[in-house]
Amino acid sequence: MRFAYVLLSYLLSPVYACYWVLRGISNRAYWDRFGQRFGIGYPRLADGCIWVHAVSVGEVQATVPLINALRKRFPSKQILITTVTPTGAARVRLLFGGGVRHCYIPFEMPIAVTRFFDAVQPEIALVMETEIWPNLYQECGRREVPLVLVSARISPSSVNNYRKFLPLFRDTLSYGIVIAAQSEIDAERFRSLGAAAERTKVTGNIKFDLEMSADLPILGSELRATIFADRMVWIAASTHDREEQIILEAHRMIRKTCPDAILVLIPRHPERFDGVATLLQKEGFRFISRTAGEMCAAETEVFLVDTMGEVPLFYAAADVAFVGGTLVPIGGHNLLEPAALGRPVVTGPHLFNTPDIARLFAEVGASITVDDTESLAQAVLRLFANTEEATAMGNRGRQLVEENRGALGRLMTLVNPLLSANA
């Protein structure tokens, strides 16, 4: 089966290349360092590195406490972060500047994987969440590079899909991989696919160890006073195509009851900023954008955030937070950021990217789940009208975040001896 997988990886490489070229027509960022997808143009790290892989924006954001802990514990080590998406690369630059190196992970062709390892010389590999790359993992095993799956999780549907190719994945998980699972359920699913029981540990989810600036609430309050004055503010963050239409229609309904309400709209991907602005114009909304540098007038209905990295700041400035990717089948984004700031959280029904976190939120009453335009409008109006309920919900979410911190410490307990021994 491995031979078939390797052959397939080569056969599909032109398809991947065409996809990236086509994406680059509308977003030139997809052409950035294109050769790295094929193992060409990697930085030469002769002294080796600690390699952290995070697919895109959400995973990169989750690495912040891990990267900070690694830099503190191993200050002389170079840290390399790989991503798949250019938005992930942009977030690496925003969060870490020149403090870490970045490159794109290669396609799963053995020759590209070999070139990647030859160039960057990883001493340890830390892969965020659900990424399983048979050829990359085999190369880690062949070179005796310790590999840790960080905050590893696996859904029931993924388990069923992996079982169709069980010999391949059993082989993949046999290279001394350490599984730092989010929950015992996730750990058992990995064991069922062939992960070694003695190397499969439950550490929790490091997303709960998110780091936020202590002055963020103050900055949020100042921003609110400057831009929005005393108006009621709700935010829809990390939104996707077709989701904005639902949100905007809900906003129309909200303003019928609460005429001064303003929506802060933050699309997930920067390449969609212009498209969402066009949608607002088409739908007849009076809006201003963040980059325009203007203050909201009395008639402003929507504030479009067309910048990167400011989602937490605008969460801190809002009364109610809707988390995007949940009204369309994307699977949802980070519920913890608004919760850590004490904001009541509203989501759609599609939460399969964070099922355990979403379940915890529902169990303690830290979120409201809606299904459509009308229920979204009703939820926001309910929280606008009942400030005590909104505050209590936000406090429950903040407490949930605090109670589940500690995964980073358990993870570092696994990583420290592996990295020290390998060095």
- The residues, ordered by sequence, that sit 6+ positions from 420 with a Cβ below 8 Å of its Cβ are none
Please say whether the beta carbons of 183 and 307 come within 8 A.
no
- Choose the catalytic residue: 59, 108, 139, 244: 59
Please give the Cα distance from 61 to 30 (Å, whole number): 20
Beta pairing, strands 345-347 & 262-267: unpaired
Q: Is 211 exposed, middle or buried (0-12, 13-18, 19+ CB in 10 A)?
A: exposed
Strand order in the sheet with 302-304: 287-289, 302-304, 262-267, 233-239, 320-323, 345-347, 367-369
Judged by DSSP in three states, 232 sits in coil
Please give the Cα distance from 52 to 50 (Å, whole number): 7
Q: Which of 118, 37, 48 is nearest to 80 (CA)?
A: 48
Please say whether the beta carbons of 84 and 105 come within 8 A.
yes
Told to judge if 271 belongs to the known catalytic residues of this protein, a careful annotator would answer: no
Q: Which of 316, 320, 285 is nearest to 303 (CA)?
A: 285
Give the H/E segment covering residue 256. helix 243-257
CA distances from 268 to 238, 337, 348, 351 (A): 4, 15, 15, 16
Give the H/E segment covering residue 287. strand 287-289
Torsion of CA 85, 88, 93, 98, to 10 degrees: -80
Which sequence positions are flagged as catalytic? 59
